Structure 1
Amino acid sequence: MNLLTHHIPADYTAWKADFDAHSETRMQAGLTLMQLWRDADGTGVTALFEVNDRKKAQGWVDAENQTDGPVTARFMRTA
């Protein structure tokens, strides 16, 4: 299973530093970062994660929405 998230940070540089600093938190939530994209116009960031534990991953998404602003998240399976 994969998780696709979309973030719209006010300041990309600060957001990226915070994102990098919390890699351990994502690992504990059963998430492995596969790819990180930045919108061509610079307004948003999309991340693709491999999910090892959906319940823990959902907890991470919920926490992100409460602390780091709105995160759009979609759990997906290969078709």
Structure 2
Amino acid sequence: MLVLSRKKGESIIIQDHIEVTVLGVEGDTVRIGISAPKQMDIFRKEIYLSIQESNRESAAHTQSNLDALRSLINKNNEK
């Protein structure tokens, strides 16, 4: 992990397209601004992890449905 120190108003640049700016610091809270291309998704980590879990659950449910459909098709083909 790269660790940088920045003051209010200072930024870092990531691969020419993403700029992260420290907007303010109040106690334990740091406010940051992110400038990035509109096609890039930016999420807080807890939201990102929730989306990933939801996607895994959906994929498992889809696989279960596909297995049930295959079973029905196989039963019809046996008749």
TM-score (norm 1): 0.31
More strand by share: 1
More helix by share: 2
- Structure possessing the higher radius of gyration over alpha carbons: 2
Higher RCO (C-alpha 8 Å, min separation 6)? 1
